[in-house]
Structure 1
Amino acid sequence: MPRTTTGATSGSSTERARPVIVELIRSLYRYNDWANGRILDASARLTCEQLLEGGGASFDSVRDTLVHTMGAEWLYLERWHGRSPRASFAAADFPDLATIRARWQTIERDTQAFVAALTEADLARVVEYTNMQGERWAYPLWQQMIHQVNHATQHRSEAAVMLTKLGHSPGWLDLLYFVDLVGGPDMAPHTPQRSSRPGEPRARLDTPQRSSRPGEPGARLDSESK
């Protein structure tokens, strides 16, 4: 009888799938950085008064929303390094967009360095931390990392609404729009057909029916929404 072995072979679907989680996390954090940048760029068109103007979202102003989103990214990165801060950033310490950008650039640099070094074993590791109320919590790292991006998405959406009401929409923030524009090799489609038109998103696989709405993603394969 032929010999049999247990476990995944080198060509098994299980083994081939393992690196996908690491690449998923890296791709999400590249997207997160890009989407945050869109919000910051739109915020740069506000006056100082508009930046602080009450907007009625989870946090009162665009400034306060940005500081909270930035602070949450910093907070989780601290937790992943084994520290449990008992306070986040105070919005009053960031009087203008320049101070927010300067601090966020440092946080983003450290976050991307952390993400770049991740392994599958790292992502499976359970990370314990104490929250600001003194409660102890523990989750696998991969869950916390996805949570952090999802949390940022919520508050980016709130900031986008306030910015749009002030006349400075950040434009499309969808993941697939990011893939079309700047996704990079780890997020690109398998068999893209490049357009000959300058600026055309690269992910078109045929000749899709384009939307008449400005900023509509270019990878639509039919008339349905992403």
Structure 2
Amino acid sequence: MSWLEQYHALARYNRWMNDKIFGLVGKLDDVERKRDRGAFFKSIHGTLNHILLGDRRWMGRFTGDAERFAPRDASGRVVEVTSMAHELYADFDDLARERARTDADILAWVHQVDERALLGTLIFKPAGAVKAHSIPLWWAVGHFFNHQTHHRGQVTTLLSQMGVDPGVTDLVAMQTIEANAT
């Protein structure tokens, strides 16, 4: 299995889990979604915003198209982000729409990137950093998918604490479902 095959699977997993989580979270009222539950980004809504913000920052770096993936508000206006806890979308429907759009962009990107590019170096300057970072692209892409999974795990924990069963969330479960569907 190559990195590309693994990243293709992780991009599908990202979409599968986001569809599952957004379906569950969409059944909650806004008060429950935004209740401070003591998570890194306080609430379920805050954590989902953070994942989207991080994904867009990384996609801007990966594609070199920072404008396309710039943080925007619901009206489409680029906003200045001063914290990774910045709320891009206060409205859940806007957040869900932009999550789905970004997931489609992620899938498209992983299907056009090649092994040679993954062996290259990604140079980027994180917000607030004094100097640029330089890391292998394959490492950055691995971090990208790990970051999503880490914070979605927090959301599934918060849902479980509320009595909402997120069901099976394992990567291998998605692979089994895909294999049985063919």
Same fold (TM over 0.5): yes
Higher-Rg structure is 1
Q: Does 1:177 align with 2:173?
A: yes
Structure 2 portions without partners, runs of 5+ = 71-79
Task: Identify which of 36, 54, 65 aligns with 2:47.
Answer: 65
DSSP-derived class of the 1:98 partner: helix
Output the CA distance in 2 between the equivalents of 1:157 and 1:112: 21
Q: How far apart are 1:90 and its partner, in Å? A: 2.7
Task: Identify which of 95, 100, 121 aligns with 1:100.
Answer: 95
Q: What pairs up with 1:13-162 in 2 under 5 angstroms?
A: 20-82=2-64, 87=81, 90-91=86-87, 93-134=88-129, 135-162=131-158
Output the CA distance in 1 between the equivalents of 2:22 and 2:136: 30
Please say if residues 46 and 85 of structure 2, whose CA atoms lie closer than 8 Å, have aligned partners that are also in contact: no
Q: How far apart are 1:30 and its partner, in Å? A: 0.9
Q: Which one has the bigger helix percentage? A: 2
Output the CA distance in 2 between the equivalents of 1:23 and 1:61: 34
TM-score computed with the length of structure 2 as normaliser: 0.83
Q: How far apart are 1:46 and its partner, in Å? A: 0.7
Partner of 1:163: 159
Q: How far apart are 1:96 and its partner, in Å? A: 2.7
Partner of 2:75: none
Q: How far apart are 1:83 and its partner, in Å? A: 5.7
C-alpha root-mean-square deviation of aligned residues, in Å?
2.1
Q: Once the two structures are superposed, what CA deviation does each residue of 1:130-150 show, in whole Å capped at 9, x if it has no partner?
A: 001233111111111111111
**Aligned pair count?**
167
DSSP-derived class of the 2:122 partner: strand
Please say if residues 73 and 148 of structure 1, whose CA atoms lie closer than 8 Å, have aligned partners that are also in contact: yes
Detail structure 1 runs of 4+ shifted over 3 Å in the superposition: 83-89
Structure 1 portions without partners, runs of 5+ = 1-16, 183-187, 189-200, 203-226
Instruction: Provide the identity percentage.
Output: 24
